[in-house]
Amino acid sequence: DVVMTQSPLSLSVTLGQPASISCRSSQSLVHSDGSTYLNWFQQRPGQSPRRLIQKASNRDSGVPDRFSGSGSGTDFTLKISRVEAEDVGVYYCMQGTHWPRTFGQGTKVEIK
Amino acid sequence: EVQLLESGGGLVQPGGTLRLSCVASGFTFSDYGMTWVRQAPGKGLEWVSGITSGGVNTYYAGSVKGRFTISRDNFRNTLYLQMSSLRAEDTAVYSCTRGLWSMDVWGQGTTITVSS
């Protein structure tokens, strides 16, 4: 199985400051069709997960533009340009290239 | 409105069986692959199983392979997860999601507790 490794596992950020989460995969996530199926999800406390980013860098409709995804191959990053109070929660990367699909351990974001 | 509504959760003894259902509405169910994801109490997300839009191909996590069976009824817009030989470590909230390589719609989840 592809192992997804996130870092850090916990992040304490001052409001208005940037935040960055790394996600590394044990195998390349480039699919035979040429796409890279790396997703980012946000799970706010007490809520179901919500997709933020698909195919490594494509932001979902309604997701604030302070969220951005980047990376390729095995190395990916989710960045929040200016953290707001509503961004508190746990962030997961997930690969959709290989079977079985696998999630990262999650990164808990809190406000300092 | 696009919605996924799970049901069938509950308390079950170790070794028992349970069937989860997920009714989809607001979109053409038969056009989409579907996925089950679970989350144990206080833990992260775990991908469980996926099924292609027509139901021909199914996929499982190693932790459930041979014990769980995913299926779907495109006439009833319903996704299923048949679970057998349940273990304490299967205790989790099980969520139905739309998509196979990515999941853009999530249900609220149904809770399974495996305990004697």
pLDDT tens-digit map of B48-87: 999 999 999 999 999 999 999 999 999 999 999 999 999 9
Q: Are strands B105-106 and B58-60 parallel, antiparallel or unpaired?
A: unpaired
Contacts of A107 in chain B (CB under 8 A): none
B47 vs A92: CB contact, 8 Å cut-off? no
B33 contacts chain A (CB < 8 A): no
Q: How many CB atoms lie within 10 A of CB B66?
A: 9
Residues B81-109 have pLDDT tens digits of 999 999 999 999 999 999 999 999 999 99
Contacts of B44 in chain A (CB under 8 A): 90, 92, 103-106
What string of DSSP letters covers chain A?
Answer: ---EEEE-SEEEE-TTS-EEEEEEESS--B-TTS-B-EEEEEE-TTS--EEEEETTTEEPTT--TTEEEEEETTEEEEEESS--GGG-EEEEEEE-SSSSPEE---EEEEE-
Nearest CA distance, A99 vs chain B (angstrom):
7
Which of A43, A44, A48 would you mutate first to test chain B, the one with the most B CBs within 10 A? A48
Question: What is the average pLDDT value for chain A, to the nearest integer?
Answer: 98
Residues B5-43 have pLDDT tens digits of 999 999 999 999 999 999 999 999 999 999 999 999 999
Residues A7-59 have pLDDT tens digits of 999 999 999 999 999 999 999 999 999 999 999 999 999 999 999 999 999 99
pLDDT in the model for residue B69 = 98
Which of B3, B47, B98 would you mutate first to test chain A, the one with the most A CBs within 10 A? B47
> Region A49-78: what's the mean pLDDT?
98
